[in-house]
Chains A and B, each alone.
Chain A
Amino acid sequence: MTQNPLLDVEGLKTYFYLEDNQVAKAVDGVDFYINPGETLAIVGESGSGKSITSLSIMQLINKPGKIIDGTITLEEENLLKKTGKQMSKIRGNDIAMIFQEPMTALNPVYTIGNQIMETIRKHKNVSKKEAQERAIELLRVVGFPRAEEIINEYPHQLSGGMRQRAMIAMAISCEPKLLIADEPSTALDVTIQAQILDLLAEMKERLDMAILLITHDLGVVAEYADRVLVMYGGQIVEETAVEQIFENTKHPYTTGLLDSLPSLEKDMKRLGAIKGTVPPAHSFPKGCRFSSRCPHVMERCLESNPDLNEVESNHKVRCYLYN
């Protein structure tokens, strides 16, 4: 790397302490970095730790969860050393977040404008009037033609796609350096999905921010990401540039994910599937966490978990098939 990364996560471990002294290792030793202006995608099934990783960056992990180890460095400052107050200045201002479910992510009792203005006035020292003007401008930027009216409307008057636009307006209101988008298009219908993701890409260009895109849709990854992390069982199993993941797939889990995508070129009767489900985070298999579902499982896979090794330049894989 020539430049300094914007966000550098090292050895992040977020565990959930369950009843009966069980420990769910939702995120177990995750290292990654995001360069300024870059889109990094994290893909994986439900339960692979993607969302917990993003919430850990924001430090919004609720009990019984706890970040027990690691560093999260944003522009040379370790976020894990910040106090609650310092952190609430960073949230929304330097790092913003948009959520999966636009139906519940806006407070039903306030107007859209009111909620956008709240963010602006929280972080910027501006008058109510200035905040309102800014809110209208932001709504225009995210593609509302009737911005002056929308600021006086309530969330229940907007459709899902419009609410997600409003969420994006709110998230970019303080021009964050990093935007965490946790499955931003999953709850929307397909035509709106593309609009929302295009909007995110456009905002990224305009504000020169980095995006951490959490998704399980590899199509979205191919379209919008620069680099990809594949997560499984709270760990990164493959990390590479986006072209590599499709053309030079290494990890059997990634192969499985790609096989389960429908394809126009191949004539398939049935979609491929990865057998089984992600093992619960409190009882991973002893060796490689994917060993219980892996088609290439070997004896050593059952005994120890492989490390994440750089097998080619800028292509890391956690699998014994490659070392």
Chain B
Amino acid sequence: MQSNSQETLSTHPEMEPREEQKKSKSPFQLALRRFMKNKLAVISVFVLLTITTTCALAPLFTDLDPERTNLLLIEQGPSDEHILGTNGQGQDNFARLLYGGRISLIVGFSAMFFTLAIGVILGSISGYYGGKIDGVIMRAADIMLMLPFLVLALTIIAIIEELTIPLFITIIALTSWPNLTRIIRGTYLSLREQEFVLGARAIGASDIRIIFRHFIPNAIGPIIVNATLMMATYIIIEAGLSFIGFGIPQPTPSWGNMISEAMNVRILREHPEAWVPPGLAIFITVLSINFIGDGLRDAFDPKSKER
């Protein structure tokens, strides 16, 4: 076989086939291709993109200020000016839905990246070095996992007097890092035994270089999948905490806040336009993110069944 290909190629060695020939597919490109075959996941990407751009471009869709109260127009039904009516403070529900989406998505995204940063740093140290430092980090993770998340978050929020959005994100990230840290550590433990890591050390690569060049790219599959699924959880957490009044402080709108405003039998019965849209928005967003997460998991894991 070796000599065969040598002959066939030596006949036209001058040709530069690089551009024309099929490009070699990297493992990421292969995963992307598998992802694109998953219809549900691709549709979910479009849905999520639509929701995100609509919220990001909120001023194009409404001229109203979501925080401006108008006590003369309380609990109005849908009208030309207020498509989804107004709430108990006379704020426009449609504007609050769009601007609230910004807050909910920003909280979800930022909390995810924050957790990702903590998880990658701690998980890398723990999984790569092992030994005592691993013990310390993992016991800290155990302690965090032992405390009920909701109680912990509520306590911290209750202690803090003035809750801002960055602070809220920080609290979520600092209370939910152990899961991702454990996953990354676990992936590293199996990577550590691979011979290419020994090979990298044999050519003189440093620890940092091995972590960044050899570990993270090989662990990127589980990292991305879990980060995606985590983002869905964070949007729910934000909505849940806002619903019980421990989340994003009023008058800043968020989807959770909007549902919280409808916590009243009369509004529930008479003004479904006030609470159905934010509820639906949370539902669709979280569902899309979960479908994307599932799609990514199947794409990154060649062993999972093709559907």
Contacts and interface: CB of A to CB of B under 8 A. Distances in A.
B148 interface: no
Nearest to B8: A145
Interface in A147-161: 148-149, 152-154, 156-157, 161
A290 interface: no
A104 interface: yes
A122 interface: yes
A283 B5 CA distance: 53
Given A145-B10, A146-B9, A154-B27, A107 B203 contact: no
B40 interface: no
A119 B205 CA distance: 9
A111 interface: yes
Contact of A122 (B2, B6, B203): B203
B204 A92 contact: yes
Contact of A109 (B18, B201, B217): B217
Contacts of B28: 109
A90 B195 contact: no
Interface residues of A, number: 41
A202 B26 CA distance: 32
A272 to B, nearest CB: 33
B29 to A, nearest CB: 10
A172 B100 CA distance: 60
A108 to B, nearest CB: 6
B199 A106 contact: yes
Interface in A132-186: 143, 145-146, 148-149, 152-154, 156-157, 161, 167, 170
Given A104-B194, A143-B2, A60 B202 contact: yes
B206 interface: yes
B21 interface: yes
Chain B contact residues: over half helix, strand or loop, or mixed? helix
Contacts of B199: 97, 99, 105-106, 167, 170
Interface string A67-99: 000000000000000000001111111001101
Given A63-B131, A106-B196, A149-B18, A89 B5 contact: no
B5 A91 contact: no
A107 B205 contact: no
Given A58-B202, A122-B203, A108 B18 contact: no
A96 B203 contact: yes
A101 interface: yes
Nearest to B26: A154
A105 B204 contact: no
A123 interface: yes
B157 interface: no
A110 B25 CA distance: 11
Contact of A170 (B6, B17, B18, B203): B203
A104 B9 contact: no
Interface in B195-217: 195-196, 198-206, 213-214, 217
A195 B17 contact: no
A4 B24 CA distance: 48
B201 A91 contact: yes
A310 interface: no
Q: Which 10 A-B pairs have the closest CB atoms?
A: A92-B203, A88-B204, A91-B204, A92-B204, A145-B6, A97-B202, A104-B195, A105-B195, A109-B217, A107-B196
Interface of A: 58, 60, 63, 87-93, 96-97, 99-101, 104-111, 118-119, 122-123, 143, 145-146, 148-149, 152-154, 156-157, 161, 167, 170, 195
30 contacts: A58-B202, A60-B201, A63-B130, A87-B204, A88-B205, A91-B201, A91-B202, A91-B204, A92-B204, A93-B204, A96-B202, A99-B198, A99-B199, A99-B202, A104-B195, A105-B196, A108-B218, A109-B26, A109-B28, A109-B217, A109-B220, A110-B217, A118-B213, A122-B204, A122-B205, A145-B10, A149-B18, A154-B24, A157-B24, A195-B2
